[in-house]
Amino acid sequence: MNTDDTNKIISLKNVSYTYAKNTPFAKKALDDINLDFYSNEYTAIIGATGSGKSTLIQHLNGLLKPDQGEVLVNGIDTKDKKSQKDLRKKVGLVFQYAQYQLFEETVYKDIEFGLIKRNIPEDQRKQRVLDTAKMVGLTQENLNASPYDLSGGQKKRAAIAGILVLKPEILVLDEPAAGLDPEGTRELFSIIQNLHDNKECTVILVAHSMELVAQYAKRVIVLHDSKVVMDGTRDEVFGNVEQLTKLGLDVPEVTKIMIKLKISHPELNDHIYTVSDAKEEILKHINLTKKSNQFK
């Protein structure tokens, strides 16, 4: 996990937030959160329903402002009203329900909308829209269609394109796989991975699928009851099965399988979190067993 302060891009210091504050319905969603995010990280935020995940990421671009503490994005305080435009340029947020971010007559106009707001010349707008559409796998036919005629996966891509066309430094996604079938999920996460690999943006996402988190994220933050209770590499977090279970969370299914296999095959490494790693470990074990038998 990155701890180089020169690469720090977001810093949350003693951040607390309460919904319906000073009413009988008050609900503390964040409680004294201290977190730093770093350039070119791929971070997943996990936790049970109501743990504060969505509230946390809405603080990263100033959509919500902390009741206490501060959120700094490249040194910009999210409470500073004069800096909101600069802040939104740096951090792009894609909501769980992408259809709520689509409102224009065509997908093309929807993706172009933010560029118009920023007074980007028309010729540049067209090229950026086409380039971004291609990046996320939208066709010319998709661009000419109404957003409401798209499939769930295409709507998600269009919403992401509307953010990416603005070239944010940080891409924040709330449950990007929600409502997608397995194929659509694989395609979408492949797009996100390519963006990260090409260092086009830092990725921070909320996810409930432990398999997806294990496959893609390098850093995992766990929220519980509005607090950060775990923060480490993928292996550090998923390696603590007992604590995750106590928090009502799970580990990837393949990890459970490897733990069971280790009972009859003690030589196996059960700190495995992806199918590809499990395949490699099992094949290695088979080959070692074959070699061992040859010398008996």
Task: Please report the pLDDT score of residue 293 as a whole number.
Answer: 67
Of 65-74, 103-112, 186-195, 255-264, the least confident: 186-195
* Stretch 192-206: mean pLDDT: 89
Q: Which of 143, 142, 160 is nearest to 109 (CA)?
A: 143
pLDDT, tens digit, 9 for 90 and up, residues 41-90 = 999 999 999 999 999 999 999 999 999 999 999 999 999 988 888 888 89
Residue 80 sits at φ, ψ, to 5 deg, of: -75, 105
Of 37 and 176, more confident: 37
Q: Which of 195, 155, 202, 159 is nearest to 60 (CA)?
A: 202
Mean pLDDT score across all residues of the chain: 90
Domains in the chain, CATH or no CATH each: 5-250 (3.40.50.300), 252-296 (no CATH)
Task: Please report the pLDDT score of residue 235 as a whole number.
Answer: 94
Q: Which of 135, 128, 146, 149 is nearest to 188 (CA)?
A: 135
- The alpha helices in 118-218, defined as continuous H runs, are 122-136, 140-144, 152-164, 182-197, 210-216
Task: Please report the pLDDT score of residue 91 as a whole number.
Answer: 93
**pLDDT above 90 coverage of the chain, percent:** 69
Three-state DSSP class for residue 283 = helix
No. of helices (H) and no. of strands (E), the chain:
12, 10
Task: Please report the pLDDT score of residue 129 as a whole number.
Answer: 96
Q: Which helix (H) or strand (E) holds 202?
A: strand 202-206
Q: In DSSP terms, which residues pair with 73 in a beta bridge?
A: 10, 76
Global pTM reads 0.90
Structure tokens at 161: 């394109």
pLDDT band with cut points at 50, 70 and 90 for residue 289: confident
Amino acid at 20: A
- DSSP label at residue 71: E
Distance CA 92, CA 270 (A): 37
Q: Is pLDDT of 176 > 90?
A: no
* Stretch 175-180: mean pLDDT: 83
Of 289 and 191, more confident: 191
* Stretch 187-196: mean pLDDT: 88
DSSP 228-270: EEEEEEHHHHHT-HHHHHHTT----HHHHHHHHHHHH-TTS--
pLDDT band with cut points at 50, 70 and 90 for residue 40: very high
Q: Which helix (H) or strand (E) holds 220?
A: strand 219-224
pLDDT, tens digit, 9 for 90 and up, residues 211-232 = 999 999 999 999 999 999 999 9
Q: Is pLDDT of 125 > 70?
A: yes
Q: Establish how many alpha carbons lie within 13 A of residue 139's alpha carbon, considering only the half-sphere containing its beta carbon.
A: 4
Residue 271 sits at φ, ψ, to 5 deg, of: -85, 65
How far is it between the farthest Cα atoms of the chain? 76
Distance CA 137, CA 251 (A): 31
Q: Is pLDDT of 200 > 90?
A: no
**pLDDT above 70 coverage of the chain, percent:** 96
CA distances (Å), 26 to each of 21, 29, 34, 49, 224, in order? 5, 9, 22, 17, 18
Q: Which helix (H) or strand (E) holds 172?
A: strand 170-174
Three-state DSSP class for residue 118 = coil
Q: How many residues does the chain have?
A: 296
